[in-house]
Chain A
Amino acid sequence: MTATSERYVIEARDVELSFGETPALRGASLSVVAGEILAIMGPSGSGKSTLLHCLAGILVPIAGEIHFDGRRVDTMSETQRSALRRDRFGFVFQFGQLVPELTAEENVALSLLLAGIRRDRALKEARPWFARMGLDGLERRRSGELSGGQAQRVALARGLVARPEILFADEPTGSLDSFTGEQVMDLLVASAREQGTTVIIVTHEPRVAACADREVIVRDGKATTLAADRVPS
């Protein structure tokens, strides 16, 4: 790891990726310091979700490097990246993506269960999140019995319950109305700050970006940090 990168918990350097003949990322770079909440914005098709997926080790770039905690993510095997995602990262997507067969508390506990934690202990750790997210009494409901806002709060709890070092959120309020989306974002920011979790959010909504400490804009597969919006020291 270079001296300049030591302050960053995760970093993309000149990342390139194409889908078939279509280039999605053309030398995108960004750096995130620990505990920071970063918004990635940009027009549709600009590559912002692709960049998030590369940072999270879901996609592997064809050129460039991804560094997390001093390790190269892009050169890891699928098994290593899978372990990284499971043990150190959390995820929230636009449409909750709850497992419909499981209850809300089982969904929250899922990331702990996948990490090998025993069921009773995983459920015990999941339950306090229901009060924290304003979901008291909904623990036994299945996803079909939850409103969009409730389901997204369950998904957020699932993303944070294992105390990940980084939470990756892809349009976490994209399917919600303004008021509900605001509640979800307030909970996300408060919980992440409390746990010291670094958050990287892809969003097209300025009000969501305004909850972040800083934003980068992805245009034509390249990331730009605005002049007035520098990396905090």
Chain B
Amino acid sequence: MSVPLTLLGLLEREPSHGYDLKRDYDTYFGRGRPLPFGQVYATLGRLARDGKVVIDEVAPGDGPERKRYVITEGGATEVDTWLTEPVPAEPHLQTVLFSKVVLALMLDRPAAEYLDAQRAAHLQRMRELTEIRRSGDLVDAILADHGLFHLEADLRWIDMTSARLGALAAEVRS
């Protein structure tokens, strides 16, 4: 999954310090794999270099200075594009889709529409693989089946998540 885009998404919610971003990232997206501080600050440094975030406040602390980061218009556009565009339909996308759904709900964006767009992209790819399975030789068919079963698992997850968006929204916005 994309750490820079997820941090940008968290910054769109509200300007934050690196420490708070790491805490929120670990809470919602880390799932037992916390983001190292070094990676947080390195990522924020690159985002600032690329004009996606700016530092609006520097406060002295006990250790290093505490910098507060604010998303720029360019950064917000990038988040919007990422959320809106379906991910190319390949197997094993759950973590990216999960991040998109949670961020979309945090930012009060139409998560259900994003899931529908993703659903359509998945089914289109499944149609292509179904055609390969039908018209190709056995090796092609077996390979296509592998993709089909994994995409089907994604689709089941999309259906389950669509049915529980209300409850999930209440949880991630609390």
A and B bind: yes
Residues of A within 8 A of B (CB): 43, 186, 205-207, 209-212, 215, 217, 224, 226-229
Q: Enumerate chain B residues within 8 angstroms of A209, measured Cβ to Cβ.
A: 123, 126
Residue pair A207, B148 in contact (C-beta under 8 Å): yes
- What's the Cα separation between A219 and B59 when bound, in Å? 51
B interface residue count range (under 10 / 10 to 19 / 20 to 34 / 35 or more)? 20 to 34
Closest to A189 in B: B134
**Chain B residues with CB below 8 A from A224, complex form:** 116
Closest Cβ of chain A: how far from B53's Cβ, in Å? Answer: 31
Would A226 and B151 count as touching, CB distance under 8 A?
no
Bitwise, B143-171 to A at CB < 8 A (1) or not (0) is: 00000100110011001000100000000
Within the complex, which residue of B120, B134, B148 is in contact with A229, where a contact is CB–CB below 8 Å? B120
Task: List A contacts of B123 (CB < 8 A).
Answer: 206, 209-210, 215, 226, 229
Of B130, B148, B155, B159, most A-chain CB atoms within 10 Å? B130
Which B positions have Cβ atoms within 8 angstroms of A?
86, 116-117, 119-124, 126-127, 129-130, 134, 148, 151-152, 155-156, 159, 163
18 intermolecular pairs with C-beta atoms under 8 Å apart? A186-B134, A206-B122, A206-B123, A206-B151, A206-B152, A206-B156, A207-B126, A207-B130, A210-B123, A210-B126, A210-B127, A210-B130, A212-B127, A226-B117, A226-B123, A227-B117, A228-B120, A228-B124
Contact B129 A228, beta carbon cutoff 8 Å: no
Q: Which residue of B has the minimal Cβ distance to A213?
A: B127
B interface, by DSSP: helix, strand, loop or mixed? helix
Are A211 and B119 also in contact (CB < 8 A) when A43-B159, A43-B163, A206-B151 are? no
Which residue of B has the minimal Cβ distance to A225?
A: B120
Q: With A206-B156, A210-B148 in contact, is A227–B127 under 8 Å at CB?
A: no
> Complex Cα distance A227/B117, Å?
7
Q: Do A210 and B120 touch (CB < 8 A)?
A: no
Complex CA distance for A113 and B117, rounded to whole angstroms = 46
Chain A residues lying within 8 Å of B124, measured Cβ to Cβ, are 228-229
Nearest to A230 among chain B residues (CB) is B120
- Please tell me if the beta carbons of A226 and B130 are within 8 angstroms of each other in the complex: no
From known contacts A207-B152, A210-B148, infer whether A228 and B121 are also in contact, taking CB-CB under 8 Å: yes
Taken together as a complex, chains A and B put the C-alpha atoms of A211 and B116 apart, in Å, by 19
Are A226 and B120 in contact, CB atoms less than 8 angstroms apart?
A: yes
Among B86, B116, B117, B155, which residue has its beta carbon within 8 angstroms of that of A206? B155
